[in-house]
Structure 1
């Protein structure tokens, strides 16, 4: 530590003070600057630094503060920050985190860096992290923390209270869980309240004051967990393996965060952004991810443009049609995106499955016919009044009506078909819908115009 601490002048910015402290390797000063800030603000300050300075900050500050900052960051960003550290330092930070957060970070790291950290962790903790990382991240197993607050069914109230009061028992790590009672096989058979422990005779057995617990299996889906926490006021629930053993607990907070993450991820994927992109990430990585989607879109748009090329003579003869082409494709695309949104929502809630594709299609066609006719009449009247040609209004109105029906059919059904094929419905539905509605919209307008050419010129 520097013998001359950094003096912060009243007109000096926090960034300048932080950079000065980093330059002097002044761990105490860096901590003093960051600790008073809300975690989100402290993380923001760190992310504005160069990569080497970020690494230095996370190396110099106390492990607990570094852990709070890592936990505040999105998982992928937190993992990249941890990967940049020396393995020994990363382990110090990991020791301050709960097992569910540890598993999330390890799951987002490159295999080599993850193994380097796990190899230096306590063997038991590393085993817990490896086990948690094997579960699907959107199941109870993937969301649970391995730390469970449990006691044996043979223990008395007094023995439990003495154990909880001992220095060896860290009650805070259980996030306010009620103690679970397990049998000789490790299966939860009861749960007791902390109030019940304090108000019961010390000689009483735990089995005399416990009530039967509600448990969830490790493979319970995120949607199932959402339903349970909506129905019951639990802060957390015990998670059991297929053989009934208690293997962890899943909290209401973890489920709520996972639901928020899923909604954000699906929204970003529909816009062509894959992963937890942040502007603090390497420019080349961000560019590569975006190009993967944009490059595919070039091919799809060339296909759509080829339709226009095939009807070049029609466009030349009736140039007014060009004005309405983007209107037809854009309005149909909006209708299709509405259908995609509803299907993605119902998929996330478990209300529809790929086998329901035909039923979903029937329902979307019903809406598509009504909306298509309404929108077609509206834009047809606009085209007629604007250009003074009733035939043009009929062409544009019919094209929009037909394209709207097609768009909602694709938007409602394609996510289910992609799910059936094992593809990401959120990432693929958007580009596919956009291209097909553009191509079909151009085709409907130009082919109808070609048929009605005598009345258009």
Structure 2
């Protein structure tokens, strides 16, 4: 037997084994094959199958394995996978998931499928999922899980240790949580560290070792939560209502995942891809999402092209200018995109707000002046040496310097202005910046060339 099998050969063999197990309806073999992989690898193999085969896998494997795969998948994909299952099987998988994941799935599914699943779930659990689904996605309420390690203020250290010693699913769902102390009215009054719990006599009341908890309201934003977890070494933060009663707990993992998904979504939007896209999605849907901004770019590029049309005589007289037009617009665009990226990051972290636009502009224009002059001198020398014309070098260098200053100013401020008027800066900033830098770059080059025409010909 060959001992030097390449990773790609292993992947191919495994994929074939998975397909064979699905075709044979061999649940034991499927579980065995998937357990050999990490969750991300198992999900990749699942998504490489046909829609029918995916449904078969999730039906044949254990509910726990199916739940792990569903939880690993992006929200839209997970919802599609669940919608393709029989309702009874979907309910079995839901029972294995934490309440926050259940709520996300229900919120992403079609109404009829979601209601069919909820109607067959435990009534109390279904009501809990409905409640969680009502919160906005990127808030503490939308990210929290309702499973709370709540302990009555009459309990002792011994009582809590007995609860932790139990080997059941309820205790497993308290992972990452400290004991939260609740009074007789349901209000959160304290929290106990696990270290303090173990270092205290068993007969001691929890109220004697508890400390004041750090809490958030259900409407706390994702940025607020990110700040808290950056500042404090917490694994979870309790979410309370206006009356101080505990609604749930939001975990560090949930916040980190939400921040990552938001960053990925904003990156896609900057590239003109609207909504979360995966190649496992229907081709027509992916095409429609991309065409939304590609179509708009046709109009924007026609505007930029009109600037060139206005200076046709200059271009015909000094054809060498055409070589440098894309260089000026592209290099300026890169500088502007750097400014957009910094502003988008600071917006997501809550470091700047729309009202800070002028302050941001002052900081960006200084960078733009320095970089613009440096890049202008560099490309001016290149143009002079390449084409043998110092006047051409002056035109190209000055145009790039001016356009870089403009691009950096716009890139830093436009996301804030779009945010102020209620538009998504991640979607619109890129196309607007590209159009302006193209138009301005062409204008600066061609207008300066027109002024210096006697020295260029």
Q: Distance in 1 between matches of 2:88 and 2:412?
A: 50
| Residue equivalent to 2:453 | 453
| Residue equivalent to 1:93 | 93
Q: Is the 8 A contact 1:343 1:415 kept in 2?
A: yes
- 3-state SS of the aligned residue for 1:248? strand
- 3-state SS of the aligned residue for 2:244? coil
**Aligned-pair CA distance for 1:341:** 0.8
Q: Quick check: 1:380 aligned with 2:368?
A: no
In structure 2, the CA distance between the partners of 1:264 and 1:73, relative to structure 1 (3 Å rule), is same
Q: Quick check: 1:247 aligned with 2:250?
A: no
| Residue equivalent to 1:13 | 13
**Aligned-pair CA distance for 1:116:** 2.7
Q: Distance in 1 between matches of 2:170 and 2:20?
A: 38
State the TM-score, normalized to the length of structure 1: 0.92
Q: How does 1:60-139 map to 2 (within 5 A)?
A: 60-139=60-139
State the TM-score, normalized to the length of structure 2: 0.92
**Aligned-pair CA distance for 1:162:** 4.7
**Aligned-pair CA distance for 1:87:** 2.3
**Aligned-pair CA distance for 1:316:** 1.2
| Residue equivalent to 1:319 | 319
**Aligned-pair CA distance for 1:355:** 0.6
**Aligned-pair CA distance for 1:111:** 3.0
| Residue equivalent to 1:181 | 181
- Structure 1 residues without counterparts, runs of 5 or longer: 1-9
| Residue equivalent to 1:216 | 216
Q: How does 1:378-417 map to 2 (within 5 A)?
A: 378-417=378-417
* TM-superposition CA deviations, 1:116-165 (whole Å, max 9, x none): 32232222222222222222322222221111100121334444445555
In structure 2, the CA distance between the partners of 1:456 and 1:168, relative to structure 1 (3 Å rule), is closer
Aligned residues: 448
Q: Quick check: 1:36 aligned with 2:21?
A: no
**Aligned-pair CA distance for 1:345:** 1.3
In structure 2, the CA distance between the partners of 1:42 and 1:302, relative to structure 1 (3 Å rule), is same
Q: Distance in 2 between matches of 1:18 and 1:424?
A: 42
* TM-superposition CA deviations, 1:185-244 (whole Å, max 9, x none): 322111123455456555543222322222122222222222222222221121112221
**Aligned-pair CA distance for 1:408:** 0.9
**Aligned-pair CA distance for 1:11:** 12
**Aligned-pair CA distance for 1:67:** 0.5
In structure 2, the CA distance between the partners of 1:453 and 1:35, relative to structure 1 (3 Å rule), is same
Deviation larger for 428-437 or 114-123: 114-123
* TM-superposition CA deviations, 1:249-283 (whole Å, max 9, x none): 11122222222222222222212223332211211
In structure 2, the CA distance between the partners of 1:331 and 1:142, relative to structure 1 (3 Å rule), is same
Q: Distance in 2 between matches of 1:292 and 1:114?
A: 29
Deviation larger for 46-55 or 417-426: 417-426
Q: Is the 8 A contact 2:140 2:250 kept in 1?
A: yes
In structure 2, the CA distance between the partners of 1:189 and 1:321, relative to structure 1 (3 Å rule), is same
Q: How does 1:199-214 map to 2 (within 5 A)?
A: 200=200, 203-214=203-214
Q: Distance in 2 between matches of 1:284 and 1:178?
A: 47
Deviation larger for 363-372 or 44-53: 363-372
**Aligned-pair CA distance for 1:446:** 1.3
* TM-superposition CA deviations, 1:346-384 (whole Å, max 9, x none): 111211100111111122112112211221122112112
- 3-state SS of the aligned residue for 2:247? strand
| Residue equivalent to 1:7 | none
**Aligned-pair CA distance for 1:48:** 0.9
| Residue equivalent to 2:228 | 228
Q: Distance in 1 between matches of 2:39 and 2:381?
A: 56
Q: Is the 8 A contact 1:163 1:169 kept in 2?
A: no
Q: Distance in 1 between matches of 2:297 and 2:399?
A: 24
| Residue equivalent to 1:370 | 370
Q: Distance in 1 between matches of 2:270 and 2:12?
A: 43
| Residue equivalent to 1:337 | 337
**Aligned-pair CA distance for 1:287:** 1.3
Q: Distance in 1 between matches of 2:12 and 2:292?
A: 43
* TM-superposition CA deviations, 1:302-323 (whole Å, max 9, x none): 2111221222221111110100
Q: Distance in 1 between matches of 2:169 and 2:193?
A: 17
In structure 2, the CA distance between the partners of 1:169 and 1:411, relative to structure 1 (3 Å rule), is closer
**Aligned-pair CA distance for 1:105:** 2.0
**Aligned-pair CA distance for 1:333:** 0.1
Q: Distance in 1 between matches of 2:167 and 2:385?
A: 84
Deviation larger for 29-38 or 109-118: 109-118
| Residue equivalent to 1:432 | 432
| Residue equivalent to 2:4 | none
Q: Quick check: 1:50 aligned with 2:26?
A: no
Q: Distance in 2 between matches of 1:157 and 1:359?
A: 54
Q: Is the 8 A contact 1:77 1:276 kept in 2?
A: no
**Aligned-pair CA distance for 1:17:** 1.9
